[in-house]
């Protein structure tokens, strides 16, 4: 009987998790649509995965946008707490050359459309850092 209760609890948690993911996906896409930007269909169709975004952030972005570098290079922005749709737009524009910055263009070129949405969701869910 205990196993059955545990299994039902696990199923309920998974169902809630999938529902939350679907809502996040819809909300994320609504925010992207409001930008009036040229967002690739593959980005819109992808359901962002925060765990994959964290992996990308910790392996690629942290070198410049991590806390240690931000103390040294005041011009580099903190990405923590930024709006996910804004980050998607910026990365897409770096990747397509609409926004020019050699360092960021090189970084964005190495990201898939799914990676862009994943890492943007991850950063949007982080606590905003104070500006000091």
Q: Is residue 119 classed exposed, middle or buried when 0-12, 13-18 and 19+ CB atoms within 10 A define those classes?
A: buried
pTM of the model: 0.79
pLDDT tens digits for range 46-61: 999 999 999 999 999 9
Q: Does the pLDDT value for residue 18 go beyond 60?
A: no
pLDDT tens digits for range 74-123: 889 999 999 999 999 999 999 999 999 999 999 999 999 999 999 999 99
Would you say the C-alpha torsion 63, 67, 73, 77 has a positive or negative sign? positive
Q: Where are the domains of the chain?
A: 2-124
The class level of CATH for 2-124 reads mainly alpha
Mean pLDDT of the chain: 83
């Amino acid at each position: 009987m205990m196993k059955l209760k545990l299994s039902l609890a696990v199923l309920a948690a998974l169902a809630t998790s999938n529902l939350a993911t679907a809502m996040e996906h819809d909300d994320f896409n609504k925010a992207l649509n409001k930008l009036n930007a040229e967002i690739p269909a593959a980005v819109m169709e992808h359901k962002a995965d925060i765990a994959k975004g964290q992996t990308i952030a910790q392996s690629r972005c942290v070198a410049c946008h991590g806390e240690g570098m931000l103390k040294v290079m005041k011009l580099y922005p903190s990405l923590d707490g930024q709006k996910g749709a804004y980050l998607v737009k910026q990365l897409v524009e770096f990747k397509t050359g609409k926004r020019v910055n050699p360092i960021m263009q090189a970084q964005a070129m190495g990201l898939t459309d799914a990676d862009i949405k994943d890492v943007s969701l991850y950063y949007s869910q982080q606590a905003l850092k104070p500006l000091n």
